Structure 1
């Protein structure tokens, strides 16, 4: 009887563990690509720029990298899951409780090395240091990268590949938040054109932000 109880406990535990593992697996899969990221509308420019990039599968080989392949650490599974959970909580809080319309994405891009993990890049680009087809300039820069590893001057892949994974992101962000008021109308039109082409039947026009020119005029009048 005792052996049967122990056996039954192992069976139930095994089934429970399998179900839990499958739940975690599918949860990770469903929240790992741009279809999930774009649920938050503030990610529109990043996702649309990704869609135009070779990493989205538009290259000659058709190889496709997902958001988590670049933006999460791959040194071990525990760190991967922890970083994914932490990012989910942080991004969720920002989305629901902060002013997402005024996020300074250009400022964030200056810290892109913090958001792009080299082990993800090197997981796919396995021969990036030994590839004989690389240009002399690329070989020199990759040697410089290796030389600076584990030093205070360490650089990352994104330090040099500034728009890696998101082709034309700098221009894309300018459509979402133009620096000069004179470009606001044209930028808004271009932004909506890009969103319309990407979302197609599910496209919903975004609310046009208040003009910086109008805001500045209002501030000047209130100070008089």
Structure 2
């Protein structure tokens, strides 16, 4: 195996000899440089954190961020606490990447709708986050005679919780 890897490495490095090597290395450098600059300029690494200010990087989320600053969850929860999965770290970052790609695409192409709509799988994640933190209270409400047998939705009744509009 070691010889095979060494042979492949020799083949690879021989491709970068002479003028063709200079051109290939230059193109590779330009692509990597532009990519690194784009990652730095976009602040994409900030999205790996839990800082709510990162979510307000684009103007489309300013109203939600300002509402969160004034809301009931400001001292106890960040955006990720309510809008990212709690049960699987890989799914959390896959979900963040999925949302980030769609957000950046819509922001770049400037085709956000006036009233941003939550996608169904994100609605389910938010519902699960409510239950994660407030499960004991929800169990009491679901088992009460008022809601017996009814399908409950935290978001339906508590749409403004966590942020004031």
Does residue 85 (structure 1) correspond to residue 82 (structure 2)? The answer is: no
Query: Per-residue deviation at 1:30?
Result: 5.0
CA distance in 2, matches of 1:39, 1:115: 24
Does residue 117 (structure 1) correspond to residue 126 (structure 2)? The answer is: yes
Counterpart in the other structure of 1:166: 163
The aligned length equals 121
- Give the alignment's TM-score, normalised by structure 1: 0.45
Unpaired runs of 5+ residues, structure 2, are: 1-44
CA contact (8 A) 2:127 2:153 kept: yes
CA distance in 2, matches of 1:74, 1:31: 14
CA distance in 2, matches of 1:161, 1:56: 16
Q: Map residues 1-224 of structure 1 onto 2, 5 A cutoff.
A: 31-57=49-75, 64-100=76-112, 103-105=113-115, 108=117, 114=123, 117-129=126-138, 139-140=144-145, 143-144=147-148, 147-148=149-150, 154-167=151-164, 169=165
Moved over 6 A (4+): 109-113
CA contact (8 A) 1:116 1:158 kept: no
CA contact (8 A) 1:129 1:139 kept: no
Query: Per-residue deviation at 1:162?
Result: 1.6
CA distance in 2, matches of 1:43, 1:67: 11
Q: Deviations over 1:58-111 (max 9, x none)?
A: xxxxxx1110111122232222121111111111111111234xx221x62797
Query: Per-residue deviation at 1:126?
Result: 3.6
**Structure 1 residues 140 and 160, CA gap change in structure 2 (3 angstroms):** farther
CA distance in 2, matches of 1:95, 1:111: 20
CA RMSD of the aligned region, Å? 3.3
